[in-house]
Structure 1
Amino acid sequence: MLKLSAALAAFALSWPALAQTAPPPPSPADAIPADWKPIPDGEILVMTLRGGHQVFIRLAPRYAPAHVGNIRRLAEAHWWDGTSVNRVQDNYVTQWGDATETKPLPPMVIANPPAEYEWTRFDGVTAFARPDSYAARTGHSADGWPLATDGKTSWLTHCYGMVGVGRDLAPSTGSGAELYTVIGHAPRHLDRNIALVGRVIEGMQWLSSLPRGTGDLGVYESAGERTPILSVRLASQLPEDERPRFQYRATDNERFAAWVRTRENRTPPFFTVPAGGADICNAQAPIRRAQ
């Protein structure tokens, strides 16, 4: 019995060492602290829904400056307060704004800004192994936006979580008062036909899990089906200690290029057949809460 007790005691002393497994070695695809860059307060939109659920949207002023300017003015005027989520179409989009379409726009909001659907430069810094079905080339901007080009013009891509501006038939371009986010398979056919102005970076579950609308194109047929919007604010409008802090992962380095390769070729033990390529929408640049 004494020998057994001594053996158990020795095992107990050695157990912490056995339990602490060595961490995996760093991967070439791992980010380093310097790769994480802050998203400015003026580029984060905070939407609060019924129940206090919050959705955080990163805006893209470099690619849609006029529409994002409108969105900032709408938020500053508290225009969305009291509006609602009006449309949820399965495997497509969730859309919000004024269901009556009669609420006046605030001063200085342009009803139909220029069509910010594409531009002449391509500032992508990453590349994919296989061509894209909708573009000659796709890649990420240095600050993580998904881009495509045909060699003549470039555009943002309709990936899951991207936010666009609802509009009527051309020449309407939409003011930004009606916004939508992609909640299904990437509808890339919308690229270059609608202004993309941002991306949902947190709280997507509060938009993607809503009941689907039963009207045409997923529009809710009654006011009771709609989800009320309590407020929409820029993070820069909030008190300093209440502002959400987010970081994007910079893409202009070999570590991110290696990360893209991991998305193109998933590895064992689960994956036995690597794909050899990936769609831009299956490799969106990571965003996280600031540490």
Structure 2
Amino acid sequence: MRSFFLSAATALALFAGNGGAAAPVTPASVLAEAPASAWVAPAPDDLLVMDLAGGKRVVIALAPDFAPVHVASIRTLARAHWYDGLWIERVQDNYVVQWGDPTEKKPLPAGVPADPPAEYERSAAGLALTEHPYRDTFADRTGFVSGWPVAEDGGQAWLTHCYGMVGVGRGNAPSTGSGAELYAIIGHAPRALDRNIALVGRVLTGIEGMTALPRGSEAMGFYKTEGERLPILSARLASDLPEAQRPHVRVLDTASPAFAAWVKVRANRKDDFYVRPAGAIDLCSVMPPVKEGD
């Protein structure tokens, strides 16, 4: 079993109250104290690396344990270089960035079903949920499973629409989306979408290159002309890139004491700025931190 340790100073200040003249414990100080073993590197086959025009790179972690068929299709699309030359076609303020084929005419590669099974939720059996300690509006229980934000109710579990999460665009039911159209949340968490769309991943790095894009002027934030769209130069699985070109990212282990300490401090800020600690925090406000580099 792995062990995780915070420094004595941080642990005492966090769990026994920050008395005396000790420096206040902050989320940043907890992360600084987190050991290297508390940071987990996603598997290269679970990272989609999307290079956009203008030098922007977006790294997306995929979630095969929650949407295995959709993730398999995204891997097939990436390996076929299907996304190359397509566009970011929609930027809706406080909502989503969407990319894919706005013409809907590009044929899908062999093996990619147009309407796979709806993977909007799955059985909660076998999931090791690190429970979030604060009440949720949408489910009986929430927490994290291997870094993924998860809600659970009635024996079913599902990924939640938090900032940076990536989903599969679809039409009205019975459409479930093939993975040809993807979107990322760039606004306040639209949790009402939970269990209505397949969530397949999370943007780990580069989302600022999406949030800073001009908003589309058409309905739902679509761009009016092709010239407004941002081209996708390439989209590859990290496992298909040379080692030197692969992103090096690590995510704070949500089963670690370091993550529990970070959540506790985030919910109970006592540094010089905060006059009144909230005593609570919502699930989407504690998405596990990401660290770049070795």
Q: So what's the TM-score if we normalise by structure 2?
A: 0.87
Does 2:280 correspond to 1:280? no
Does 2:86 correspond to 1:83? yes
Query: Is contact 2:100–2:180 with CA below 8 Å preserved after alignment?
Result: yes
Question: What is the Cα deviation at residue 126 of structure 1?
Answer: 2.7
Query: Is contact 1:125–1:251 with CA below 8 Å preserved after alignment?
Result: no
- Report matched runs for 1:65-214 at 5 Å: 65-121=68-124, 123-141=127-145, 143-214=146-217
Q: Which amino acid in structure 1 is aligned with residue 37 of structure 2?
A: A
2:262 to 255, 259, 262: 259
Return the alpha-carbon distance in structure 2 between the equivalents of residues 251 and 128 of structure 1. 10
Return the alpha-carbon distance in structure 1 between the equivalents of residues 103 and 58 of structure 2. 23
Please say which structure displays the higher CA radius of gyration.
1
Return the alpha-carbon distance in structure 1 between the equivalents of residues 200 and 108 of structure 2. 18
* 1:176-219, Cα deviation, whole Å (9 max, x unpaired): 01000000000000000000000001111111111111111111
Structure 1 residues 36 and 130: alpha-carbon distance in aligned structure 2, compared to 1, 3 A threshold: closer
Question: What is the Cα deviation at residue 120 of structure 1?
Answer: 1.5
Return the alpha-carbon distance in structure 1 between the equivalents of residues 184 and 275 of structure 2. 34
Query: Is contact 1:45–1:232 with CA below 8 Å preserved after alignment?
Result: yes
Q: Which amino acid in structure 2 is aligned with residue 217 of structure 1?
A: M
Question: What is the Cα deviation at residue 150 of structure 1?
Answer: 1.6
Q: Which amino acid in structure 1 is aligned with residue 185 of structure 2?
A: V
Query: Is contact 1:267–1:274 with CA below 8 Å preserved after alignment?
Result: yes
Question: What is the Cα deviation at residue 221 of structure 1?
Answer: 1.0
Give the % identical residues. 53
Return the alpha-carbon distance in structure 1 between the equivalents of residues 279 and 10 of structure 2. 23
Structural RMSD (CA): 1.6
Return the alpha-carbon distance in structure 1 between the equivalents of residues 199 and 103 of structure 2. 23
Residue of structure 1 in register with 2:22 after alignment: none
- Report matched runs for 1:230-249 at 5 Å: 230-249=233-252
SS in 1 for 2:130: coil
Residue of structure 2 in register with 1:270 after alignment: 273
2:35 to 32, 36, 59: 32
Give structure 1 stretches of 5+ with no counterpart: 1-22
Query: Is contact 1:139–1:280 with CA below 8 Å preserved after alignment?
Result: yes
Query: Is contact 1:164–1:196 with CA below 8 Å preserved after alignment?
Result: yes
Question: What is the Cα deviation at residue 124 of structure 1?
Answer: 4.9
Q: Which amino acid in structure 2 is aligned with residue 176 of structure 1?
A: G
Q: So what's the TM-score if we normalise by structure 1?
A: 0.88
Return the alpha-carbon distance in structure 2 between the equivalents of residues 50 and 100 of structure 1. 20
Question: What is the Cα deviation at residue 24 of structure 1?
Answer: 10
1:217 to 216, 220, 223: 220
* 1:120-151, Cα deviation, whole Å (9 max, x unpaired): 2163533333310111111011x211011123
